[in-house]
Amino acid sequence: MRTRKLELTVGLFILAGLLALLILALRVSGLTLTTSGDTYTVYAHFDNVSGLTARSKVTMAGVTIGQVKRITFDKNRYTGLVEMSINSDVDTLPADSTASIVTAGLLGEKYIGISVGGDELVLADGDEILDTQSALVLEELIGRFLLNTVSKDD
Amino acid sequence: MSILANRVTLLGRSGLNLVAAIGRSGIFLYQALAGRSNFGNPFGLLLKQLYAVGVLSLAIITVSGVFIGMVLALQGYNILKDYGSEQAVGQMVALTLLRELGPVVTALLFAGRAGSALTAEIGLMKATEQLSSLEMIGVDPLKYVVAPRLWAGFISMPLLSLIFCVVGIWGGAMVAVDWLGIYSGSYWSNMQNSVLFSADVLNGMIKSLVFAVVVTWIAVFQGYDCEPTSEGISRATTRTVVYASLAVLGLDFILTALMF
Amino acid sequence: MPESSDFIVDLQQVTFTRGERTIFNNVDIRIPRGKITGIMGPSGCGKTTLLRLIGAQLRPDSGAILVNGQNIPQLGREELFAARQHMGMLFQSGALFTDLNVFENVAFPLRVHTQLPEDMIRDIVLLKLQAVGLRGATQLMPDELSGGMKRRVALARAIALDPELMMYDEPFVGQDPISMGVLVRLIRLLNDALGLTSIVVSHDLAETASIADYLYVVGDGQVLGHGEPDELMNSDNPRIRQFMQGEPDGPVPFHFPATDYVDELLQKERKA
């Protein structure tokens, strides 16, 4: 009878541990079992990708539609090449859409926002988004602002 | 000159002793884990140790987890508030717990709670000749006494660490949402957006597993290798806590540098 | 091979050192089969070490230790554990497993080494406990027993697998006269009834001499003498006589080796 009780408590302990893992997976990391569905790859060149990392989200109209897969340096064009995977159910992105690196809040994380274009052709696997807007660099912004104020005073 | 020579000799000898102890502990680990046992039911022994090492550590792990989560939320809130991003408190609590505090604090508490008990228990079995007695009965004490305790430690600590993280995140939510009035949706969604299962949760678990091996190994070996007197046992118990804590903190730095 | 059947244990030129100290120096000891052999000597002369050498818990620096013709120090781990199943050892402290009750302690060797059904194990355990007079104590935990009872339970456990060779490590230390008498009787009884060979390591002269068929006196890393108890009592070897008669000073000096007493006193004075 004593072993039975021992088995039960140890069993509960192990179940509690596994339950904790499940909570961490679903509730804390927001892992849904369907995210690893089909995606297609789209490329974009940015003059400045600072702050963007692999696994940053890609959004359209504020809704996440994919994520950044890889960022490399294009040595021929001296720009950053971003490879992103877009969920394949979003297959109606016009070919002339704009990709811009935006910031959540003033100091928040960087992600890619895509604004819709007007072309009839849609982006397919391996295509490139040509119209891009680089990351906002706070120091440059402040510098430009100060320069403007100084030149106005003149 | 001769004093200097003496010092050098002494240093050399303690260095050699250290290397020998490391070698002994390696052989010890190998002999305990490799090969098959020559007695009936190793599973029953493991069960008993899982209870002693794992279940009995649950109380201290959950209580510490809740409090650490609460403190993290409170401190994080006060700092993040200055930048107007107190919404990120959930993300901060979760990442801190999963990547660092969960595995590390669990390992430290485990070393103090279960590790010292393991050392003292095995040391006492040695002092009262129970280990010799097992040998003479024809049962390998490495298999009968040591192996189940090692496995119990290896299995328990990652589980305890997971429980610690969950309880801590829940404690953080309690403070942030119920007390400081952060909208519960943003607490959780901020967390979900930034925590990655493969990078954060799994890496934390790998850390915890490494700590489990190191802490349990040190604890059990110190007990087995101790001088079989009351003084020797108390010294071995102290050594377990000190060595295990230092090893955990040192390894944590290395693992963090490798992982994140 | 008449040799191996007459002697169950045969130590041949065994040398054992611990650190700087030589515990045994080229020692030859033979234990006759079926008898009780006493190993006697002053405290700290390595009597317990001898038992540990036979049980292969320690390894000699050189020499052979044959038990039933097997050279024990050369056995592999597995063979060694198999060989130990034929040996029983009664430790000084009893060494009962503190987390098991009396019944489970005695049942332990049976459970780990045999596949006997539960009711058979129960019968054997009760039989062994009956032999040591503690059948009524099956449900007690070791910390509820007196020192003498602990040793008797340990004895029951040691004989659970019916070993050929029983080793007793200082069985009489710290026992009151009654339990000492009980143990003396038990050792004799078990030896004769179960056909064992017994080795009793002790410095209790009277008790050991009263049950042993053969005696070895060891000291200074050597065998000082051996023979039947009566022979040794009347030995003219001064070292043996000193031990057998219990004289405080003699060839075995009262003082631990030290520098000259007067010198040391004067030296201190000079320093001050």
Distance CA B29, CA A49 (A): 50
Going residue by residue through chain C, which has 272 residues, state the pLDDT in tens, using 9 for 90 and above: 344 467 888 888 888 888 777 888 888 888 888 888 888 877 777 778 888 888 888 888 888 888 888 888 888 877 888 888 888 888 887 788 888 889 988 988 888 888 888 888 899 899 888 888 888 888 888 888 888 888 888 888 888 888 888 888 888 887 778 878 888 888 888 888 888 888 888 877 777 888 888 888 887 778 878 888 777 777 777 777 777 777 776 666 677 777 778 778 877 666 65
CA geometry: angle B216, B218, B224, nearest 5 deg: 100
Q: What SS3 class is residue B253?
A: helix
C-chain residue closest to B39, CA distance: C112
Contact A52, A135 (CB under 8 A): yes
Going residue by residue through chain A, which has 154 residues, state the pLDDT in tens, using 9 for 90 and above: 467 888 888 889 999 999 998 888 888 777 665 555 688 889 999 888 887 877 778 888 888 888 888 889 988 988 889 998 888 888 888 888 889 888 876 666 788 888 888 888 888 888 888 888 887 777 777 888 888 877 766 5
| Touch between B and A (at least 3 CB pairs under 8 Å) | yes
Which domains are delineated in chain C? Answer: 7-267 (3.40.50.300)
A52-75 burial by CB neighbour count: b if 16+ within 10 A, else e? beeebbbbbeeeebbbbbebeeee
The domain limits of chain A are 1-34, 39-136
Cα end-to-end distance, chain A, whole Å? 93
Q: B162, A20: Cβ pair inside 8 Å?
A: yes
> Taking the model in full, what pTM does it have?
0.77
Write down the mean pLDDT value for chain B: 90
State the SS3 of B154-174: HHHHHHHHHHHHHHHHHHHHH
CB-defined contacts B:C, below 8 A: 62
Structure tokens at C186: 């038990």
| pLDDT at B207 > cutoff 80 | yes
CA geometry: angle B56, B60, B66, nearest 5 deg: 135
Distances (CA, A) of C103 to A31, B43, B232, C89: 54, 21, 31, 18
Q: What is the reported pLDDT for C271?
A: 61
Q: What is the reported pLDDT for A2?
A: 67
Please tell me the least confidently modeled range out of B87-96, B97-106, C77-86. C77-86
Q: Kind of pairing, strands C165-169 and C87-90?
A: parallel
Selection from C101, C14, C16 nearest residue C65 by Cα = C14
- Chains contacting A (3+ CB pairs below 8 angstroms): B
Q: What is the pLDDT of residues B146-196, one digit of tens each?
A: 999 999 999 999 999 999 999 999 999 999 999 988 888 778 877 887 888
- Chains contacting B (3+ CB pairs below 8 angstroms): A, C
B-chain residue closest to A28, CA distance: B192
Residues of chain B whose beta carbon is less than 8 angstroms from a beta carbon of chain C are: 31, 38-40, 125, 128-130, 132-133, 135-140, 144
Minimum distance, in Å, between the CA of residue C46 and any CA atom of chain B = 17
| pLDDT at B230 > cutoff 80 | yes
Q: What is the reported pLDDT for B253?
A: 94
Tell me which fold the domain A39-136 belongs to. Answer: Elongation Factor Tu (Ef-tu); domain 3 (2.40.30)
Q: What is the reported pLDDT for B108?
A: 96
Structure tokens at C91: 């430790």
> Does the ipTM exceed 0.85?
no
Selection from C198, C142, C148 nearest residue C172 by Cα = C148
Distance CA B104, CA B210 (A): 11
Q: What is the reported pLDDT for C1?
A: 37
Q: A14, B159: Cβ pair inside 8 Å?
A: yes
Distances (CA, A) of C100 to B12, B124, B128, C142, C160: 45, 15, 14, 8, 16
| Touch between A and C (at least 3 CB pairs under 8 Å) | no
C-chain residue closest to B40, CA distance: C112
Write down the mean pLDDT value for chain A: 82
Q: What is the reported pLDDT for C3?
A: 46
Q: What is the reported pLDDT for B238?
A: 95
Q: What is the reported pLDDT for C2?
A: 41
Contact C229, C209 (CB under 8 A): yes
Q: What is the pLDDT of residues B24-63, one digit of tens each?
A: 888 888 888 887 766 667 788 899 999 999 999 999 999 9
In order, the DSSP letters of C169-205 are ESTTTT--HHHHHHHHHHHHHHHHHHT-EEEEEES-H
The domain limits of chain B are 35-259
Cα end-to-end distance, chain B, whole Å? 50
In order, the DSSP letters of C222-266 are EEEEEE-HHHHHT---HHHHHHHHT-SSSSS-SSPS-S-HHHHHH
pLDDT band for position B222 (50/70/90)?
A: very high
Q: Which residue has the tokens 């999963």?
A: B98
- Left if phi > 0, otherwise alpha if psi is -120 to 50, otherwise beta: which for A97? beta
Mark which residues 46-75 of C lie under 8 Å from B by CB.
52, 55, 57
pLDDT band for position B137 (50/70/90)?
A: confident
Q: What is the reported pLDDT for B242?
A: 95
Phi and psi at residue A42, in whole multiples of 5°? -130, 145
pLDDT band for position B64 (50/70/90)?
A: very high
Distance CA B191, CA B93 (A): 8
Distances (CA, A) of C73 to B119, C53, C58, C177: 29, 8, 8, 38
Phi and psi at residue B26, in whole multiples of 5°? -65, -45
Residues of B in Cβ contact (< 8 Å) with A30: 189, 191-193, 195
Q: A16, B159: Cβ pair inside 8 Å?
A: yes
Phi and psi at residue C95, in whole multiples of 5°? 55, 40
Q: What is the pLDDT of residues A23-50, one digit of tens each?
A: 888 887 776 655 556 888 899 998 888 8
Mutate to test the interface with C, among B41, B137, B227 (most CBs of C within 10 A): B137
* Cα C135–chain centre separation: 25
Please tell me the least confidently modeled range out of B210-224, B233-247, C211-225. C211-225
Cα end-to-end distance, chain C, whole Å? 70
CB-nearest partner of B136 from C78, C89, C98:
C89
Selection from C96, C181, A94, A124 nearest residue B133 by Cα = C96
